[in-house]
Amino acid sequence: MRPLVGAKTQQLISRVFTPVSPVRWRAAQTRRSCGSSPNGEKPRPSMLRHLTSKIKATGPISVAEYMREVLTNPVTGYYVRNNMLGPDGDFITSPEISQIFGELLGVWILSEWMGGGRPKQLQLVELGPGKGSLASDVLRVFSQLRSVLGEASVSLHLVEVSPVLSRLQAQNLTGNYSQEAGAEDEPIYRRGETTTGLPVSWYRCLDDVPAGFSIFLAHEFFDALPIHKFQRTEKGWREVMVDIDPETPDRLRFVVTPSPTLASSTLVQADERRDHVEVCAEGGVIIQQLARRISEDGGAALIADYGHDGTKTDTFRGFKGHQLHDVLVSPGSADLTADVDFSYLRRMAAGGVVCLGPVTQRTFLKNMGIDTRLQVLLRNCADPSTRKQLISSYDMLTNPAKMGERFHFFSLLPHSRLSKPKKPEGLKMEKKSPAPLPVAGFSELSFS
Ligand code: SAH
């Protein structure tokens, strides 16, 4: 099925794809992140100690609190720790597998900027930018298509909780052209200029990013936000908590609360049919913020993550060294993650914006022209090992059995983006008003 990509987007794609830049290949590198200690695999006991004292003091903690502490505790959190960039990564993400991924998202952003009426200011806002590779690939597309952007002034805004990753992003995106803020409570904690000459700022939370027409990107960000877990029991919904195992005091275990909690009374839908549900309330709040900004200032959000549409139950898991890892063992030494419930995100957007998707990564990338891009790169590449890598990264991103169907794309757009422009007043002749530009990547437009 041919994608519903507008003619203008196709022009953009062919313009990006014709002048073939030398292939910068990254598939052999794993995402070097956040898990292992530099000298080996010894778990750090401090996080476990911190959690057990907390539980001893105040009782079992919610899974959301557990996840928040383990991942983003300012001292020992998994994403915050100093040694997160050891030689053995814990997992790999699409932008790290191939530059094609970020290039196609760059084309999507330009297409939505055009669909939004080519405003004079364009803020590119990325939530959880990891190593900065996605932003870097997007900015390269912006440079190649500078003439399309015309006089628009473009700025980059990165929302990142990890000081260590923010330094790495700064290195990758600005070389040495960035500086930390003087005071700790500044909303912008680092600022600089990208190697392509754009202003870039770092924030701890979305609230601090200035208002204005913005395209928001969140790739593997929502899955890292804390979830609450709820279990249906004979007595009704109960919250799953983390407690100390009474038989082995340095071990943790899951328990179910004997009575409802505030979260179990407010976060589970009245008509819920599953027996076990995970709700990411923090993700819901971020979606509400995004929806408000997009409806007030224009723009779009593109969210890509593994997830489901309100069907899955227990998806909470850990990853360490590319292997599944028990979420309660050696907390702080492994990544914790849960599938994103897109039906919940749609509900939280509450009609303030149009929600598109989720569509699978395979569908989205194919609609964006990944096959054409691969062919162009292969045509211009004689080296057999690079050709092999190109094909295998394409396969990794799109194969339904690999990342192709596990990952999904979801978008928020202002209602005005998909409504037909009004006919100019006083026009007597019967003339059809032009259809809005189709949204690239999403083959079917669904309104919610
Ligand atoms: N988008 C990147 C990295 C994904 S890992 C990629 O796909 O390669 C998750 C990222 O989100 C990391 O950069 C992590 O530090 C950041 N992060 C996690 N929780 C966060 C929070 N609450 N606020 C801001 N950033 C967060």
Residue 107 lies in a domain: yes
pLDDT for 89 equals 77
> Which residues line the pocket of ligand 1, CB cutoff 6 A?
31, 71-72, 79, 93, 95-96, 128-130, 134, 159-162, 165, 219-221, 224
Residue 88, SS3 per DSSP: coil
Measured in angstroms, how far is the CA atom of residue 130 from the centroid of ligand 1?
A: 6
Give the pLDDT of the chain (448 residues) as one tens digit per residue: 333 344 455 555 544 543 333 333 222 233 323 333 334 444 455 899 999 999 999 999 999 999 999 999 998 899 987 545 434 678 888 998 999 999 999 999 999 999 999 999 999 999 999 999 999 999 999 999 999 999 999 999 999 999 989 999 999 999 978 899 878 889 999 999 999 999 999 999 999 999 999 999 999 999 999 999 999 999 999 999 999 999 998 999 999 999 999 999 999 999 999 999 999 999 999 999 999 999 999 999 999 999 999 999 999 999 998 889 999 999 999 999 999 999 999 999 998 999 999 999 999 999 999 999 999 999 999 999 999 999 999 999 999 999 999 999 999 999 999 887 666 666 555 566 677 778 999 964 444 4
Task: Report which protein residue has its CA nearest ligand 1's atom 21.
Answer: 161
Say if 270 falls within a structural domain. Answer: no
Nearest CA to ligand 1 atom 14: 128
What is the structure's pLDDT at 27? 27
Residue whose CA lies nearest to ligand 1 atom number 13: 130
Please give the number of the atom of ligand 1 that sits closest to the Cα of 219. Answer: 1
- pLDDT, position 26: 27
Given this model, what pLDDT does residue 237 score?
Answer: 98
Task: Tell me, in angstroms, the distance from the centre of ligand 1 to residue 366's CA.
Answer: 26
Write the residue with the smallest CA distance to atom 20 of ligand 1: 161
Question: By the 8 A CB rule, do 249 and 52 touch?
Answer: yes
- Ligand 1 mutation pick, 32, 78, 162, 207, max ligand atoms within 8 A of CB: 162
d(C-alpha 97, C-alpha 115), whole Å: 29
Query: What is the per-residue DSSP string for 368-388?
Result: TTHHHHHHHHHHT---HHHHH
On whether residue 49 sits in a domain, the answer given is no
430 Cα–ligand 1 center, Å: 52
For 75, the token pair is: 């001292």
The Å distance, Cα 335 to ligand 1 centre, comes to 11
* pLDDT attached to residue 436: 79
Give 191's strand partners.
179, 201
Report the residue among 30, 70, 160, 216 best suited for mutation to probe ligand 1: largest number of ligand atoms under 8 A from its CB: 160
CATH code of 203's domain: 3.40.50.150
C-alpha span between 328 and 43 (Å, rounded): 12
Q: What is the reported pLDDT for 281?
A: 98
User: For residue 244, is it within any domain?
Assistant: no
**Residue whose CA is closest, atom 11 of ligand 1?**
128
Cα of 89 vs centre of ligand 1, distance in Å, is: 15
CA of 152 to the centre of ligand 1 (A): 28
Domain annotation covers residue 314? yes
Pick the atom of ligand 1 nearest to 95's CA: 8
pLDDT digits (tens, 9 = 90+) for 194-217: 999 999 999 999 999 999 999 999
Q: Which atom of ligand 1 is nearest to the CA of 159?
A: 24
CA distance 87 to 260: 44
Q: Whose CA is nearest to atom 5 of ligand 1?
A: 130
Task: Look at residue 375 and tell me if it is in a domain.
Answer: yes
> What integer pLDDT is reported at residue 71 of this predicted model?
96
The structure's pTM equals: 0.89
The pLDDT, as a whole number, for residue 34 is 30
Instruction: Report the separation in Å between the CA atom of 236 and the middle of ligand 1, taken as the mean of its atom positions.
Output: 35
Residue 445 within any structural domain of the chain: no
Helices (H), 116-228: 133-144, 146-149, 163-174
Number of domains in the chain: 1
pLDDT, position 433: 65
Structural domain includes residue 303: yes
Task: Find the 85 Cα to ligand 1 centroid distance in Å.
Answer: 14
Domain housing 97: 77-227+280-414
Separation of CA 275 and ligand 1 centre (Å): 30
Res 31: pLDDT: 30
Q: What is the pLDDT of residue 86?
A: 39
**107-121: b (≥16 Cβ within 10 Å) or e:** bbbbbbbbbbeebee
